[in-house]
Structure 1
């Protein structure tokens, strides 16, 4: 079914075609008509399935003919899209801008790490579609620089990640400020018990869409485990990159400190690498991501939270330098490769400390990952596991309840005629999320 048969206007279809797309993905085929019907929606889709266009396109269609109520002198915010991180928020707003380029709509993105004053000026001039991270949106609400009383559509994007980051209290404060009569769209990579509870309280008899098997990994991704001693991970990674001529390699580490150290080590090996994590300035993060997307940077090292919003066509290699402490994060990580039918490779460097983590991942994805020992990097069969230590505030953004398994944001705002490409899980104990509410307050700001 082409986009022309989904109920979208000629202006929107034209903008989509200019991005090189004529056929919607499965999530778009189901979500677009459901959103256009006006009801609430609960959608489950993995990263890379086209979910962003699945909600931005119908929102543009619903809003293009003007507000339902009498328009005021300044444009009211009519659609609010909440995203967990700065990078993802910027990506979503870019999608709105690109697809709405032929419509008389304005969009803006607001998040922390940059001055709030330019954002205040943007909001004063009027915005139809606002993309925001929870923390910075609350800043505006507290300063009374935003009016949410005219919201017609609310989107919670990557809702599972927002819960994992401790944003549930912030989300509830935002919900309390919105009009009761609105359309709610909840998108999540997984349907955990926490997500179901949130949906039950937010959505009114929603349509439900789940385009991929829960917690599954795509078939186009070649997954492999390389057993290695903990102190030989860096030499092995350099060896793989050089001998296999890898470029555009996204590497995940468990901590910010580990990311920085790995970048230094790779640099000494003659491999260009930069890190993105919460301690990096917004300018540094934007520069690193831009160079990586443009192919100027060979390796991008990231923590889980900072990597949200990385959306690159045909990313060939994802490396788990450290296995994630939450199994669902493995699915999130490797989902950045093998998109749109392209073949991708996901490699995990696993030491003896991580054997239990690997078992949990394999249990989740319901498959045993093939092991391949690289010659010259054979692990010591007599090595004993050591506890995985994490400092508070690590890049993974989570703290596990048991010591044995500790848990391992692009411009100040944009306001243009609105309009990337049709781009296209984690269950912690409630007590763990509650413990994160206070210290997670600055994330997503």
Structure 2
């Protein structure tokens, strides 16, 4: 299967070729033809499956077909609603890449920055608007946004909207857009409230599901270390140095925790930066750019700040602290193993987090292998602590490969629960 088999117009095929894309991912191959038929879509797809192109490409093609029939000023005909600034920016960049030869106009709006540049772009007239819920409602209330001519509505990362407390804003937006429209609804997981919302706003939708709900990407190798809080930093430094890890995304539960980890890594001469809600938009974007370009090895993030991170070459995700919501684990490790690539997700679990691990194992349907950090390298004073076996986990030692007096790690997958 190639993009040329999906009945795409020449301007889009030309743009895809310029980007080096020839073969669609499974969700793109399924969703694009359905969206071009103007069907409503319910997409259950994890981050990194290529879903941005799955909705961006058909939007561009459908609006391009109408472009010649337009009369009067340019009006917003497609709205893409997404939970975070970073993700909104990346979707807008994708529209620029795929739509470069279409002549369609688009812009992105989000909070945390001055609205002047955003309102100027809106006044000039756009075809496609990418927005976060808060800034969208704010500018609608001020009279800068008119959605009466809207034809296509995309709700992206619906489950994360719920996690972040935006679901009421989403419902307000839905009340303000035309009832007669095409709706494309995407979510990595499908909790009851999200399923209820989908049932409310979709009309005879086509369901596109590339992985079962609440499962983890198959090519991600997973492992968990039992380690108490005081020893987590030593283990993190050891893994980074002993295995010469590059491009590592580390998750903490709190902003303070992210800053603390970065501070301690700097003391070990490891280049790192934190992104979270207390950082300015420019600081977050600079940290992300430095991470993508390899200027820093480690990016430490909270769940909300990391939601929009899209890095195809990310090899490692480390859960410095396990999330208390098991679905969040799915989102976190979905940062690696993208678009068919392999990736590794390691978790640190202290005694207070054991119940979280049990919930994660239940949700993803496998037992995450317990790794013996004692055999990874000679034990240190900080890493000699003995841990009791986890009642729901099968202990599987790492395979250790010695290489010039350093240790590299291979990870084994957990066994599927019957």
Is the pair's TM-score, using the shorter chain for normalization, greater than 0.5? yes
Which whole-Å CA distance do the structure 1 matches of 2:371 and 2:167 have between them? Answer: 41
Provide the rounded CA distance (Å) in 1 between the counterparts of 2:130 and 2:92: 6
Mapping for residues 52-91 of structure 1, pairs under 5 Å: 52-66=52-66, 70-73=70-73, 75-91=74-90
2:186: which partner in 1? 187
| Residue 24 of structure 1: aligned partner | 24
Displacement of 1:342 after TM fit? 2.1
Q: 1:219 and 2:218 equivalent?
A: yes
1:96-128 Cα shifts (integer Å, max 9, x gaps): 110000011011000011101111111000010
Partner Cα distance (2:237, 2:286) in 1? 23
Separation of aligned partners in 2, 1:113 and 1:341? 34
Which of 381, 384, 399 aligns to 1:378? It is 384
In structure 2, C-alpha distance between the alignment counterparts of 1:113 and 1:366, rounded to whole Å: 39
Task: Please show how residues 130-169 of structure 1 align to structure 2 within 5 Å.
Answer: 130-169=129-168
Map of 1:274 onto structure 2: 273
Q: Secondary structure at the match of 1:324?
A: coil
CA contact (8 A) 1:227 1:378 kept: no
Once the two structures are superposed, the pairs formed by residues 377-396 of structure 1 within 5 Å of their partners are: 377-381=383-387
Whether contact under 8 Å (1:228, 1:378) holds in the other structure is no
**SS of residue matched to 1:263:** helix
Q: Which residue is equivalent to 1:93?
A: 92
Structure 2: distance between partners of 1:172 and 1:250: 33
The change in CA–CA distance for 1:9 and 1:35 in structure 2 (over 3 A counts) is: same
**Aligned counterparts of 1:198 and 1:378: Cα–Cα separation in 2:** 50
Give 2:15's aligned residue: 15
Counting only pairs closer than 5 Å after superposition, residues 116-135 of structure 1 correspond to structure 2 as 116-135=115-134
1:31-71 per-position Cα deviation (integer Å, ceiling 9, x unaligned) = 00110001211111011110000000000000013359752
SS of the equivalent of 1:261 reads: helix
What SS does the aligned partner of 2:91 have?
helix
C-alpha distance 18-70 of structure 1, shift in aligned 2 (>3 A): closer
Q: CA-to-partner distance for each residue in 1:343-385, whole Å, 9 max, x for gaps? A: 2111101111111100100011111111122223133559xxx
Shift of 1:341: 2.7
Question: Which residue of 2 is the match for residue 196 of structure 1?
Answer: 195
**Aligned mates of 2:386, 2:278 — CA distance in 1:** 35
- Aligned residues, how many? 381
Moved more, 342-351 or 261-270: 342-351
Match of 2:34 in 1: 34
CA distance in 2, matches of 1:335, 1:68: 40
Q: Which residue of structure 1 lines up, in the alignment, with residue 48 of structure 2?
A: 48
- The one-character-per-residue Cα deviations of 1:302-355 (angstroms, maximum 9, x if unpaired) are 000000110101211100000011001111111111123322111101111111
For the residue of structure 2 that corresponds to 1:340, the secondary structure is helix
* CA distance, structure 2, for counterparts of residue 142 and residue 333 of structure 1: 34
SS at match of 2:16: helix
Measure the CA separation in 2 of the matches of 1:363 and 1:178. 39
Q: Contact conserved, 1:32 with 1:58, CA < 8 A, in 2?
A: yes
4+ runs deviating over 6 angstroms: none
| Structure 2 gap ranges (5+) | 389-418
Determine the C-alpha separation between the residues in 1 that align with 2:120 and 2:371: 56
1:435 counterpart residue number: none
* Residue aligned with 2:153, SS: strand
* Alpha-carbon separation, structure 1, partners of 2:52 and 2:153: 14
Match of 2:399 in 1: none
Q: Is the 8 A contact 2:44 2:210 kept in 1?
A: yes
- Is contact 2:322–2:329 with CA below 8 Å preserved after alignment? yes
Q: Distance in 1 between matches of 2:60 and 2:195?
A: 27
| Alpha-carbon contact 1:227-1:379 (below 8 Å) kept | no
SS at match of 1:225: strand
Q: Counterparts of 2:198 and 2:338 in 1: how far apart (Å)?
A: 28
Contact 2:44-2:212 within 8 A present in 1 as well: no
Greater Rg by CA: 2
Deviation larger for 41-50 or 210-219: 210-219
Deviation at 1:145, TM superposition (A): 0.8
Contact conserved, 2:226 with 2:387, CA < 8 A, in 1?
A: no
Structure 1 window deviating more from structure 2 (45-54 vs 366-375): it is 366-375
Partner of 2:314: 315
CA RMSD of aligned residues (A): 1.3
